[in-house]
Structure 1
Amino acid sequence: MRLKTPCRLFVSVCLCLCFAWGWGASAIAAPAPDNFSQADIQEMATLREKAFITSREGDYAAADKLWTQLLEYLPEEPAIWSNRGIVRASQFQLEDAIADYTQAITLAPDEPDSYLNRGAAYEMQQEWDAAIADYNHVLALDPQEAGALNNRGNAEAGQGDWEAAIADYKTAADLDPNFALARVNYGLALYQVDRHDEALKTLRGVVRKYPNFPDARAALTAGLWASNQRGEAESQWVAVEGLDSRYKDLEWVRTIRRWPPKVADALEQFLTLEG
Structure 2
Amino acid sequence: MPGAAWGQAIPEELPSADQDAVEQLRDQAFTATNAGDFATAEAYWTDLLEQLPDNPALWSNRGNARVSQNKLAEAIADYNQAIRLAPSAPDPYLNRGTALEGLGKFQEAIADYNRVLELEPNDPAAYNNRGNAQAGLGNWQEAIADYKTAADLAPEYAFAQANHALALYQVGETEDALRQMRNLVRKYPRFADMRAALTAALWVTGQLGEAESNWVAAIGLDRRYKDIQWVETTRRWPPTMVDALRRFITLQ
TM over 0.5, shorter chain? yes
Q: Which amino acid aligns with 1:31?
A: E
Q: Mean alpha-carbon deviation: is it higher for 154-163 or for 39-48?
A: 39-48
Q: 1:203 aligns with which of 156, 177, 181?
A: 181
Q: Is 1:19 aligned with 2:6?
A: yes
Which whole-Å CA distance do the structure 1 matches of 2:140 and 2:219 have between them? 29
Q: Which amino acid aligns with 1:239?
A: A
Aligned to 1:136: 114
Aligned to 2:40: 62
Which whole-Å CA distance do the structure 2 matches of 1:237 and 1:52 have between them? 34
Q: CA deviation at 1:183?
A: 0.5
Q: Is 1:31 aligned with 2:31?
A: no
Aligned to 2:30: 52
For this pair of structures, how many residues does the alignment match?
A: 252
Q: Is 1:97 aligned with 2:84?
A: no
Residue aligned with 1:228, SS:
coil
Which whole-Å CA distance do the structure 2 matches of 1:180 and 1:244 have between them? 16
C-alpha deviations, 1:188-232, integer Å up to 9, x for none? 000000000000001111101110010010001111111111111
Q: Is 1:253 aligned with 2:228?
A: no
Q: CA deviation at 1:92?
A: 0.6
C-alpha deviations, 1:154-202, integer Å up to 9, x for none? 1000000000000001110111111111111000000000000000001
Q: Is 1:175 aligned with 2:153?
A: yes
Q: 1:120 aligns with which of 98, 110, 113?
A: 98
Q: Which amino acid aligns with 1:249?
A: D
Which whole-Å CA distance do the structure 2 matches of 1:180 and 1:129 have between them? 25
Where does structure 2 lack aligned partners over 5 or more consecutive residues? none
Which whole-Å CA distance do the structure 1 matches of 2:59 and 2:81 have between them? 7
Q: Which amino acid aligns with 2:13?
A: P
Q: CA deviation at 1:117?
A: 0.1
4+ residue stretches of structure 1 with deviation over 6 A?
none
Q: CA deviation at 1:41?
A: 2.3
Q: Which amino acid aligns with 2:166?
A: L
Q: CA deviation at 1:267?
A: 0.6
Q: CA deviation at 1:40?
A: 2.1
Where does structure 1 lack aligned partners over 5 or more consecutive residues? 1-13
Which whole-Å CA distance do the structure 2 matches of 1:248 and 1:159 have between them? 25
Residue aligned with 1:266, SS:
helix
Let me know the Cα RMSD of the aligned residues.
0.9
Which whole-Å CA distance do the structure 2 matches of 1:121 and 1:50 have between them? 24
TM-score, length-scaled by structure 1: 0.90
Which whole-Å CA distance do the structure 1 matches of 2:34 and 2:126 have between them? 21
1:216-255 equivalences under 5 Å are 216-255=194-233
Give me the identity figure in percent. 55
Which whole-Å CA distance do the structure 2 matches of 1:156 and 1:41 have between them? 43
Residue aligned with 1:134, SS:
helix
Q: CA deviation at 1:55?
A: 1.4
Aligned to 2:58: 80
Q: CA deviation at 1:32?
A: 3.9
Which whole-Å CA distance do the structure 2 matches of 1:230 and 1:112 have between them? 46
Q: Is 1:271 aligned with 2:252?
A: no
Which whole-Å CA distance do the structure 1 matches of 2:13 and 2:40 have between them? 25
Q: Which amino acid aligns with 1:213?
A: F
Q: 2:166 aligns with which of 185, 188, 201?
A: 188
